[in-house]
Amino acid sequence: MSRAVTLKSPAKLNLLLGVTPQIVAGRHLLTSVFTTISLADTLTFCFDGTRERLVTIEVVSDPAIPPLNLHTEDNIIYQAVQALEGSCNRELGGHLHVMVEKRIPSEGGLAGGSSNAAATLKMLAGLWGLKSHSEKVLNAARLVGADVPFFLYGGCALMGGNGGELVRGLPQPALDLVLVKPPVGVSTGKAYEAFDADPQPLPPLERLIALLDTPGAAPWLLAQEFANNLSRAACSLAPELEEIIGELAAQPGVYTAQLTGSGSTIFGVCESTALAAGLARYFTQQGYWSIACSTL
């Protein structure tokens, strides 16, 4: 049996991230409102069931982002294959070649790797006749990474636990966005260590959820409720982030500027697609990776 499948693998933003000091099984408990965005990698899967088990991964990175050079065994795509094999107690039984057209920068808080892993799980679930939300697939997703289960759902969602438990799906807001990422990356582990040394209160959640549930809620109203209590810790590790947030937030027509996840990508909610595009050009000229995009 042979099959070729191409899937989009979108990035995510944390519209709200609330980290608690409580740690369960080595991970912080948190609340997050995720949304997928139009920035995406493209994964093409070619499976040849007549050959012995083999996974090969080819990554072609957009010239605007640093190339991703990993051994196959260290790539989260390979780890997703292994996790689903273990969860289903079966072997791949063929040659899977994955071609990744990479547009999502790494170490940016955009969860491109987690999205790639979820796309891989979806492809294998289809190959094996499983539903992508089945418990076996979700178990594999949780093993691979905290953000991976969200991408099996996509859209906009309230996630709990360590970020991998769906609390409820949410209507996806229509937002025009500009993303700005400096060359510096932020280690998620170090960001959480800095948070533990100086924990911040949980941001309020209820008003944001109510607005998302309100059809036609204005982007500027929604933007007022976006929050990230991990931002202070990340900015303490990379002070340049605070400067970018301040500069972006000060631009006319930008409703808010905020770090996504532990960074180092900052997103601004803009009044129009034209403004987002203009700001992306401006920040690119300043030496940053920057792109205009929207919620899907």
Could you tell me if 17 and 261 are in contact, meaning their C-beta atoms sit under 8 angstroms apart? yes
DSSP β-bridge partners for residue 5: 45
Could you tell me if 211 and 225 are in contact, meaning their C-beta atoms sit under 8 angstroms apart? yes
Specify the 3-state DSSP secondary structure of 10.
Answer: strand
Q: Which amino acid is at 185?
A: G
C-alpha 49: how far from its chain's center? Answer: 31
DSSP β-bridge partners for residue 2: 48
ω into 262 cis (within 30 of 0): no
Q: From the candidates 41, 102, 122, 147, which is the catalytic residue? A: 147
Report the relative pairing of strands 254-259 and 95-102 from DSSP bridges: unpaired
Q: How is the beta sheet containing 266-270 ordered, strand by strand?
A: 254-259, 266-270, 176-181, 289-294
> 176: which 2 tokens?
């025009």
> 145: which 2 tokens?
């990474």
147 as an active site residue: the answer is yes
Question: What is the spatial distance between Cα 174 and Cα 223, in angstroms, rounded to a whole number?
Answer: 11
DSSP β-bridge partners for residue 61: 102
12 as an active site residue: the answer is yes
Question: What is the spatial distance between Cα 194 and Cα 126, in angstroms, rounded to a whole number?
Answer: 41
Structural element, H or E, at residue 18: strand 2-24
Q: From the candidates 12, 102, 122, 181, which is the catalytic residue? A: 12
Could you tell me if 242 and 266 are in contact, meaning their C-beta atoms sit under 8 angstroms apart? no
Residues known to be catalytic = 12, 147
